[in-house]
Structure 1
């Protein structure tokens, strides 16, 4: 199976640090407007995905949810979660007080990867 989601070592290290303080985590990437389009990190249950939003995978046990419309746009792309120094548009994200912001790098799946994609989970 081809994973839809991976993370850099820096992102994994930050997730582990956040988990040690906040417990289990989750991510949500909105489709824009008020929330921006960068992934935001919350305590698990701190954000409620909408009906038909899509979970594309997990990183360090944290579910990664995407806005349903954004997923339609990016469904043929691999997501790599990364972290940068600075303040992103997601001011409510748990990494913000640390002067960090999560970011996604996208790349299109190859033809072979598309034939063996891992399934997604839809929010009921």
Structure 2
């Protein structure tokens, strides 16, 4: 099955580093407030997943969520979790490490959209 979210090797390495330090973590794709549209990383018990959040999948055993409205708008896109130089989001675990998570996107092709039930 085509994954809705994947991670690059540098992202997987940072995820492993954070898991070694904090234990279970999760991601929530920010909707644009405060820290732009950065993927935010939290200790698993420190962020409340709501009824309006969609579980896109897991990367490095960390679940990735997105708000329903944003998830619906990006439904045609595979999210690619990556790492770039810079400061992470104010409340995100990557803050202060001089590298931060960044979400890139790739539009699903026609066969992937059919597989995911996005074609009508």
TM-score (norm 2): 0.91
User: Is the 1:86–1:101 contact (alpha carbons within 8 Å) kept by the matching residues of 2?
Assistant: yes
Q: Which residue pairs with 2:16 in the alignment? A: 16
Q: Which has the higher contact order (CA 8 A, sep 6+)?
A: 1
Structure 1: which 5+ residue stretches go unaligned?
A: 119-124
User: Is the 1:57–1:63 contact (alpha carbons within 8 Å) kept by the matching residues of 2?
Assistant: yes
Q: Which residue pairs with 1:113 in the alignment? A: 112
Q: Secondary structure at the match of 1:45?
A: helix
1:91: Cα distance to partner? 1.0
Matches within 5 A, 1:1-124: 1-88=1-88, 90-117=89-116
CA RMSD of aligned residues (A): 1.4
User: Is the 2:81–2:103 contact (alpha carbons within 8 Å) kept by the matching residues of 1?
Assistant: yes
Give the length in aligned residue pairs: 117
TM-score (norm 1): 0.88
Structure 2: which 5+ residue stretches go unaligned?
A: none
